[in-house]
Amino acid sequence: MHYYDQHMHTHFSPDSVETFEHYLERSAGKNLITTEHLDFFSTEQASDDVIPDFDGYSAEIERLNQLYGNRILKGIEVGFTHPDKERIQKFLKDKDYDLILMSIHHNGKYGFMQLSNDDVPLENQLKEYYNLMLQGVREFKNANVLAHFDFGLRSYELSVAELRIVEPKLMEIFKEAVQQDMALELNTRSMYRYGNAHLYEYAIDLYRSVGGTLFTVSSDAHVVEDYELRFKDAFTMLREHGVDQLAVFQKQQPTFVELPQNVSAQ
Ligand SMILES: [Zn+2]
Ligand SMILES: [Zn+2]
């Protein structure tokens, strides 16, 4: 089996208008999985809950699977929050997702990407963000992948030395993830659009140091042009850090596939 991108969005997410057909054209010969947003917001945030239309999504996939040789799998990106953990599980129950990503997107007051050092000092952001992530990996045990572990830092410019302030916390998070067979995602949008590749170099080693073997490489594409965004560079980085396998998820179970040797540069 070929490795395939495992984090992308279509018009079934409110922040994308992309179509399955465009991704299908780009992914010929490979599986295709989209991971549409589920996010519950608190009343303080004046933001409507984002709940994927599962029936519409399933119907469209079923229709396209007949036309495109059953290549499409079902995925979801869950923005985990402790107050909503039961609503999240209620939504997931009885749904045949192949892949569940866990993301920490907001803290019940604001979205983490809206902030930078001018609003919240880096150290405070690091502490709050990774406390919530630790709570997430402990409480959301059926998630398959820890997505964009640096999401809350995308608006900050920080060095690995600064990220090390929370190394004990990160180790706890990764240990917990390893125990639950939760993969570490290399989010190429974070790495190369938000300039956080160096933080991923550090995270790969840290996750491996606590026994982690499950890695995914994903573009977080919201438009087809970003499909497999700079995968070649991420594969090279993994190889340089001693990783030679990636994980793909079907029916929420991981399978190892070989780290691709030759991919076209994007
Ligand atoms: Zn996300
Ligand atoms: Zn996403």
Q: How far is the CA of 148 from the centre of ligand 1 (A)?
A: 7
Judged by its nearest atom, the ligand closest to the C-alpha of residue 147 is 1
Answer yes or no: is 266 within a domain.
no
Residue-number span of the structural domain to which 81 is assigned: 20-258
The per-residue pLDDT of the chain, averaged, comes to: 96
CATH at residue 57: 3.20.20.140
- What is residue 1's predicted lDDT score, i.e. its pLDDT? 86
Q: How far is the CA of 104 from the centre of ligand 1 (A)?
A: 8
pLDDT digits (tens, 9 = 90+) for 136-155: 999 999 999 999 999 999 99
- What is residue 263's predicted lDDT score, i.e. its pLDDT? 61
Answer yes or no: is 104 within a domain.
yes
pLDDT digits (tens, 9 = 90+) for 226-260: 999 999 999 999 999 999 999 999 999 999 999 99
Domains in the chain, number:
1
SS (H, E, C) the chain: CCCCCCCECCCCCCCCCCCHHHHHHHCCCCCEEEEEEEECCCHHHCCCCECCCHHHHHHHHHHHHHHCCCCEEEEEEEECCHHHHHHHHHHHCCCCCCEEEEECCECCCCEHHHCCCCCCCHHHHHHHHHHHHHHHHHHCCCCCEECCCCHHHCCCCCCHHHHHHHHHHHHHHHHHHHHCCCEEEEEHHHHHHCCCHHHHHHHHHHHHHCCCCCEEEECCECCHHHCCCCHHHHHHHHHHCCCCEEEEEECCEEEEEECCCCCCCC
Does the predicted TM-score (pTM) go above 0.95?
A: yes
- What is residue 266's predicted lDDT score, i.e. its pLDDT? 47
Lowest mean pLDDT among 44-48, 91-95, 159-163, 262-266: 262-266
Answer yes or no: is 84 within a domain.
yes
- 265 pLDDT more than 60: no
Q: How far is the CA of 209 from the centre of ligand 1 (A)?
A: 25
Q: How far is the CA of 232 from the centre of ligand 2 (A)?
A: 20
